[in-house]
Amino acid sequence: MSNYVITISRTCGSGGSYVGEELSKMIDIKLYEQDILQLASEESGISLDLFVRTDEELKVNPLFRFSKYIYRGDLIPPSSSEFTSEENLFNYQAKVLKELAAKESYIVIGRCADFVLKNDVKLIRVFIYADKDDRIKTESDRLSISPKEAESRIDKVDKKRNEHYKYFTGNDRMDMTNYDICLNSSNLSYKNCAELITEYLKKNKII
């Protein structure tokens, strides 16, 4: 059977990473998230700290939300002053995703993988969301912060993810027509979400 990749996009606090962990155990394929940064660092020779720092920082340039880079697969050479730009850090993460897809089936959280891999491998594109009150409680409990702080964090993280996706893909991350499966984790446990995704895979003869 040919390789496939399950991409999981999510709203902050909806538990997308936890769903990925449950699914990884259920169907016995690897889950990639932050470790893509480590692999991209090794591939490029660029410091992991730079990948992590760029990944965590919020864009502050207001022009960012109105511009587009749109990933096309090119790498910027080391001789260029743009070699360590955010665009090239993204390029190397995309290169890693493509190389992994050529070798194995896997699950990946975020990384615009649904766009990056659209022409390379069989994709199952999943979106996990939840009601705002539930997301606030989840983040408040997880980080031991007040509900007000949790709501502010949720808004900032979702805004960053949406702008990041728009910049590199030209598409709207919140457009549900981008996905094959959309699940509300307010109404389902993380394990239930993983079970429904597994059932989809079986019905479509992917596993």
- For residue 103, the enclosing domain spans 4-203
| 125 to 45, 70, 170, 183: CA distances (angstroms) | 30, 19, 17, 11
Number of domains in the chain: 1
Q: What is the pTM of this model?
A: 0.91
pLDDT at 20 over 60: yes
Higher pLDDT: 98 or 57? It is 98
Share of the chain above pLDDT 70, in %: 93
Answer yes or no: are the C-beta atoms of 118 and 175 closer than 8 Å: no
What pLDDT, in 10s, does the model give residues 37-92? 999 999 999 999 999 988 866 454 555 555 667 777 789 888 898 899 888 999 99
pLDDT digits (tens, 9 = 90+) for 100-137: 999 999 999 999 999 999 999 999 999 999 999 999 99
pLDDT exceeds 60 at position 1: no
d(CA 174, CA 158): 10
Report the pLDDT value the prediction gives residue 98, as an integer from 0 to 100. 96
Q: Residue 158's domain is classified under what CATH number?
A: 3.40.50.300
